[in-house]
Structure 1
Amino acid sequence: MSGSIRNNIKIGSEVEIVQKNHQRSGELTTGIVKRILTNSQNHPHGIKVMLVKGEVGRVKWVLA
């Protein structure tokens, strides 16, 4: 599922994110959502989340 719609993302979901320092390369980081940081219902670049490991980035894909 796309990571640009907030309703697709739940706490505990497995997602792939792009961190701020990897935006140019597009390197994806996989992890479990700890907090959803974006308040709006959608965002063209992806909903910003914090993963359990502490990484912050915008969701590109929701895996599970």
Structure 2
Amino acid sequence: MDGKSRVNIKIDSLVDIVLKKDQRTSKLTRGHVKRILTNSAQHPHGIKVMLKEGDQVGRVQKILTDDK
């Protein structure tokens, strides 16, 4: 699943995100969603989230599992 729709993303879901510093290289960072930061229902570049691992913030590219 892609991360452009907010309804697809749940707290604790395992996701791949692109950090701001990695946007040029599209390097993905994997982690579990701590908070959903984007308020709109959709975003063309991916919904912005904060990960539990290190409080990293980025835009969701892939949703790997929905733990809840």
Tell me the TM-score range normalised by the shorter chain: over 0.9
User: TM-score, normalized by length of structure 2?
Assistant: 0.93
Report the secondary structure of 2:7's partner residue: helix
Percent of matched pairs sharing the same residue = 61
TM-score by length of 1: 0.99
Structure 1 position 4, deviation (Å) = 0.3
Shift of 1:61: 0.3
Letter in structure 2 aligned against 1:46: G
> What is residue 48 of structure 1 aligned with on the other side?
48
Aligned to 2:58: 57
In structure 1, give the amino acid aligned to 2:59.
R
Q: Is there any run of 5+ residues in structure 1 with no aligned partner, and where?
A: none
In the alignment of these two chains, the number of paired residues is 64
Which residue matches 2:28?
28
Instruction: Please give the secondary structure, in 2, of the residue aligned with 1:11.
Output: coil
Distance in 2 separating the partners of 1:46 and 1:17: 9
CA offsets, 1:5-42, max 9 Å, x none? 00000000000000000000000000000000000000
Across the aligned residues of Structure 1 and Structure 2, the Cα RMSD in angstroms comes to 0.3
